[in-house]
Amino acid sequence: MPKVIVDPVTRIEGHLKIEVEVEGGKVVSAKSSGTLFRGLELILRGHDPRDAQEIVQRICGVCPIGHGTAATLALDDAFQIKPPHNGRIIRNLILGANYIQSHILHFYHLAALDYVKAPDNIPPLAPRYEGDYRLPDAVNTAAVNHYLQALEMRKKAHEMLAIFGGRMPGQRAIVPGGVTETVDTEKIVHFKYRLAELIDFIDNVYVPDVLAVADVYKDWLEIGAGCKNLLAYGAFPVDDNGTLFFKRGVYTEGSEGDLDPEKITEEVKYSWYNDDTGGNKPGESVITPEPGKDGAYSWLKAPRYDGKVHEVGPLARMWIGGEPKIRALGDKAFSVMGRHAARALECQKLAHAMADWVMQLEPGKPTCTPHKVPNRAEGMGLTEAARGALGHWIKIEGGRIAKYNAVVPTTWNGGPRDSKGQPGPIEQALVGTPVKDPNNPIELVRVVRSFDPCIACAVHVITPGRDVRKFRVY
């Protein structure tokens, strides 16, 4: 039986390798391997705690705002402070602008070319492999044009973010206690103007394009189910009492429940870390790299909630939040197309809410709560980055960072097996995926990209036997 290696798969963020075994035309087992050690937790040790929200934004250039937000929430918790009304809203607007650009980026510039056939005379868009292209010509042509339009829309979203964040990437406004930016009517007008353009694009282009693709590729509502357990930390406080626009909760084995952060652990049996990390809660975890560890195959840990595998991201948020159009899909929501639909509908829902939030700003009112750095404290910051549940934990001793830990969305989704042998969400979603042609295994990248992983990946298709072909998939 042939062994086929696909290396690397592009159009995702970061460094990921996927290995699968194929028998009878379907994936029977899979491994997800993060191949790059991050190490920022080690860099943060000894720093002034207020450096955290600056340094952690370097974890990712596409979604730095989520990390800046989680860090400041952890510091708010450690410092025992809350942002004022304006500070809360501006944080929401900055994070929301990043969501919008990230979701548009994912569909048009990362995932769409798995379904949209671009002309061969446009090199950046031309497929590098033979795809399963089914869209009617008119729909396909419109989607190609929208690819280019989406670049301009992402620019608008970045500009909108910079109005209150100062710049993108690496915004400078979000700090413990609120934001450094002030509010005036001119900024509100500029933000509102750009948001109106984005809402028009989302309502009339993005959502219709996603639904058009989903309608033609209905069979992909049956592929890539995964673990069917969902987790969301919640995000975007809509009042000063902490009510969240995106609901916090879990959906485990068909039952809904409240989220208890004490049930979150990190497994490392198959990760390149010393076993003293295994099973620890994130606030207690230590970062002790052990490259070459026997049996390990990833730099990602394996987060678990109450000992069980959970998927995070737009599908989790929309399902836990009770979004009617996603809930109406039933089990088909747990699929490649279900994830794409959830992401588009979430983008639409958030953009419209932001139009109300920006009008709630009060020019001239405070945006940040004064504070002092405690000599000793601990804090936890839970939020939702565009790609899913994001948590930061900090321990302060002697007024300096003694311990820091970030558990990111793709650690949840792309992590390896745990001590019970339970595969991670992406690993489970790949199992059962049909592979029509071992020389052109495009089905695998469709499953992986539906999660919008924030790590680059190399996919290996393995059927025991000899090497037949080695190639790259773009």
> Residue 347: which pLDDT band, with cuts at 50, 70 and 90?
very high
Whether 50 shows a pLDDT value over 90: the answer reads yes
Of 311, 296, 252, whose CA–CA distance to 453 is shortest? 311
pTM, 2 dp: 0.92
> Residue 463: which pLDDT band, with cuts at 50, 70 and 90?
very low
Give the SS3 label for residue 152.
Answer: helix
Of 267, 81, 253, 119, whose CA–CA distance to 276 is shortest? 267
Q: What confidence score (pLDDT) does residue 36 get? A: 66
Q: What confidence score (pLDDT) does residue 312 get? A: 98
How much of the chain is in helix, strand and coil states, percent to nearest 5? 40, 20, 40
Most distant CA pair in the chain, distance = 71
Q: What confidence score (pLDDT) does residue 455 get? A: 58
368: DSSP letter: B
Instruction: Kindly list the distances between the CA atom of residue 61 and the CA atoms of 155, 166, 169, 350, in Å, as whole numbers in the listed order.
Output: 15, 15, 6, 21
User: Across residues 77-83, what is the average pLDDT?
Assistant: 97
Q: What confidence score (pLDDT) does residue 378 get? A: 97
User: Across residues 389-405, what is the average pLDDT?
Assistant: 96
Whether 458 shows a pLDDT value over 70: the answer reads no
Helical H runs in 176-313? 185-201, 207-216
Is the peptide bond preceding residue 8 cis, with omega within 30 degrees of 0?
A: yes
Percent of the chain whose pLDDT exceeds 70: 89
Q: d(Cα 170, Cα 214) in Å, to the nearest integer?
A: 34
Of 448, 373, 364, whose CA–CA distance to 182 is shortest? 364
Whether 8 shows a pLDDT value over 70: the answer reads no
Q: Other CB atoms closer than 10 Å to residue 253's CB: what's the count?
A: 8
* Residues 192-198: contacts with CB under 8 Å, at least 24 apart: 192/355, 192/358, 192/359, 194/156, 194/157, 194/159, 194/160, 194/163, 195/160, 195/351, 195/354, 195/355, 195/358, 196/355, 197/153, 197/156, 198/100, 198/153, 198/156, 198/157, 198/160, 198/351
- Which stretch of 63-77, 113-127, 186-200 has the lowest confidence by average pLDDT? 113-127
For 245-272, how does the pLDDT look when each residue is reduced to its tens digit (9 = 90+)?
999 999 999 999 999 999 999 999 999 8
Most confidently modeled of 35-39, 170-174, 331-335? 331-335
Q: What confidence score (pLDDT) does residue 6 get? A: 45
Q: d(Cα 348, Cα 332) in Å, to the nearest integer?
A: 21
Whether 221 shows a pLDDT value over 60: the answer reads yes
- The tokens describing 350, both together, are 């958030």
Q: d(Cα 58, Cα 74) in Å, to the nearest integer?
A: 17
Q: d(Cα 373, Cα 53) in Å, to the nearest integer?
A: 14
> Residue 466: which pLDDT band, with cuts at 50, 70 and 90?
very low
Of 321, 353, 452, whose CA–CA distance to 96 is shortest? 353
Look-up of token digits 């790609």: 387
Of 198, 217, 212, 202, whose CA–CA distance to 143 is shortest? 212
Q: What confidence score (pLDDT) does residue 278 get? A: 64
User: Across residues 315-338, what is the average pLDDT?
Assistant: 98
Instruction: Kindly list the distances between the CA atom of residue 299 and the CA atoms of 77, 237, 268, 278, in Å, as whole numbers in the listed order.
Output: 29, 33, 9, 13
- The tokens describing 77, both together, are 């918790």
Helical H runs in 321-422? 324-327, 336-358, 409-414
Q: d(Cα 455, Cα 413) in Å, to the nearest integer?
A: 11
Q: What confidence score (pLDDT) does residue 402 get? A: 95
User: Across residues 151-167, what is the average pLDDT?
Assistant: 96
Q: What confidence score (pLDDT) does residue 2 get? A: 38
Q: What confidence score (pLDDT) does residue 440 get? A: 79
Domain residue ranges of the chain, discontinuous segments joined by +: 3-280+288-473
Whether 465 shows a pLDDT value over 50: the answer reads no
DSSP strand pairing (376-385 vs 467-473): unpaired
Q: Other CB atoms closer than 10 Å to residue 278's CB: what's the count?
A: 18
Most confidently modeled of 50-54, 109-113, 351-355? 351-355
Whether 56 shows a pLDDT value over 50: the answer reads yes
Whether 166 shows a pLDDT value over 50: the answer reads yes
Q: What confidence score (pLDDT) does residue 472 get? A: 46
Query: Of 1.10.645.10, 1.10.357.10, 1.20.120.1200, 3.40.50.920, which CATH number belongs to 3-280+288-473?
Result: 1.10.645.10
DSSP strand pairing (230-232 vs 249-252): antiparallel
Whether 168 shows a pLDDT value over 50: the answer reads yes
**First-to-last C-alpha distance (Å) of the chain:** 25
Look-up of token digits 């009517």: 185
- The tokens describing 33, both together, are 């391997």
The DSSP bridge partners found for residue 382 are 391
* 73 sits in which H/E element: helix 64-79
User: Across residues 432-461, what is the average pLDDT?
Assistant: 75
Q: What confidence score (pLDDT) does residue 1 get? A: 38
Whether 190 shows a pLDDT value over 90: the answer reads yes
User: Across residues 106-128, what is the average pLDDT?
Assistant: 80
Share the mean pLDDT of the chain: 89
Give the SS3 label for residue 466.
Answer: coil
Instruction: Kindly list the distances between the CA atom of residue 348 and the CA atoms of 103, 344, 358, 450, 470, in Å, as whole numbers in the listed order.
Output: 10, 6, 16, 18, 41
Higher pLDDT, 397 or 170: 397
- The tokens describing 71, both together, are 């860090």
Higher pLDDT, 58 or 77: 77
